Amino acid sequence: MRNRAAALGGMLGLTALALAAAPAQAQTGDDASLSVLHGVPDLVVDVYVNGERTIDDFAPGDLAGPLALAPGTYSVAITAADAADDSAPVIGPVNLPLEAGGNYTAVAHLTADKTPTATLFTNDTSAAAAGQGRLTVRHVAAAPAVDVLAGGQAVITNLANPDESSLDLPAGTVSAAVAATGTTDPVIGPADVPVQEGAATIAYAWGSLEDGNLALATQTIDGLHSAPSGVPTGQVEVRDGVAPALYVGTALVLGSATLLGVRRLAVQR
C-alpha cells in the first residue's frame, strides 16, 4: 500500500498558481480523487498528514489536485508556517474519510464568524442528462447568505457558509443575478453564466467580507455525460480578487468564466 502521507503531501504541493500544468496520478476504480483549496486569507501554513509535515508554506488561493489516493481516513492538521510540530494547529486535526471511487474537495476556509475551519465536500459526478451541465455554488466566505436569481426568480435561496447548492441546466448561457436573501432586486448583474454540457462547474466564494479580501475560485469536473467515454477528469481555475460585499463576490463567481477572464490550469489524469 502506498504511503498515504507522502501521497497527500505531493498532491498539496501542486498549486493552482503554477505556471504549467502537472499531470495527475492515474485513477483506478479503487482510488478516491481529492482536490484541496486553501481559502483562509493572510495565513501561510504548513500541512501535517498523520503527524508528519508534508508541505511548507501553503498559501491562500492555492488550489491543488486532483490526485488519486488509496481509500481510507487521512488525519490532517494545519499549522502556522514553520511550526515546530502539529501540537498547536490553527485548523484541525480533521479526519478526511475518502471512499473508493469518490470525488472530493477539501477546503480550508473561514466560518461566517471568521473562525478558521475545514470542510470536506463530496463532488457530484453523477451523469447529467443529455444536453445539460451542472452548476454548484459553495459559500465558504466569512459573509452573509445570498439568493441567486435567474430570470428575476430565486433559483438558489439563503445560501450560507458552508452550504452548497446545485442545479442541472441545459447547456448554454444563463442570465444570473445575486440579491440579498429574501429580495429580488439585484445587487449586481445580471451576468452571463456559461453551462457546459457534460461538466460540473463548482464555484467558491472565500475570504472575509469584513476584511475586504473576498476571493474567487472555480473548479470544473468533466465527464458527466450520460454515456461517458472514460473516467471523469478535472480542471481547476483560480482568480483572487477583492469585492465590497458577498453579493458582489458570489455574482462574480457565477460570471467569472466570462467576465473576469479566469486563468485556466488544466490537470489531466
Residue ranges per domain, the chain? Answer: 4-267
Cα distance between residue 205 and residue 159, in whole Å: 11
Mean pLDDT is highest, among 56-60, 181-185, 190-194, 264-268, for 56-60
* pLDDT tens digits, one per residue of 154-165: 889 998 999 999
Of 126 and 236, the one with more pLDDT: 126
Cα distance between residue 56 and residue 12, in whole Å: 10
Total Cβ atoms within 10 A of residue 26: 9
Torsion of CA 50, 140, 62, 14, to 10 degrees: 50
Of 108 and 188, the one with more pLDDT: 108
User: In this structure, are residues 139 and 164 in contact, taking their beta carbons and an 8 Å threshold?
Assistant: yes
**Alpha helix stretches (DSSP H) within the chain:** 4-12, 246-259
Mean pLDDT value of segment 241-245: 35
Cα distance between residue 248 and residue 91, in whole Å: 28
* pLDDT tens digits, one per residue of 1-36: 333 333 333 333 333 322 223 334 455 568 999 888
C-alpha cell at 56: 511548507
Q: 14 Cβ partners below 8 Å, 6+ apart?
A: 22, 24, 64, 65, 67, 267
What secondary structure letter does DSSP report for 31? Answer: -
% residues pLDDT > 90 (the chain): 25
- Cell 488525519 sits on residue: 75
Q: Whats the size of the chain, residue-wise?
A: 269
Mean of pLDDT over the chain: 73
pTM above 0.85, yes or no: no
Q: What is residue 27's predicted lDDT score, i.e. its pLDDT?
A: 54
Mean pLDDT value of segment 83-100: 92
Mean pLDDT is highest, among 35-44, 97-106, 221-230, for 97-106
C-alpha cell at 37: 483549496
Q: What is residue 246's predicted lDDT score, i.e. its pLDDT?
A: 35
Q: 236 Cβ partners below 8 Å, 6+ apart?
A: 16, 35, 63, 65, 217, 218, 219, 220, 265, 267
Asked if residue 60 has a cis previous peptide bond (ω within 30° of 0), the answer is no
Q: What is residue 249's predicted lDDT score, i.e. its pLDDT?
A: 38
User: In this structure, are residues 254 and 187 in contact, taking their beta carbons and an 8 Å threshold?
Assistant: no
Asked if residue 194 has a cis previous peptide bond (ω within 30° of 0), the answer is no
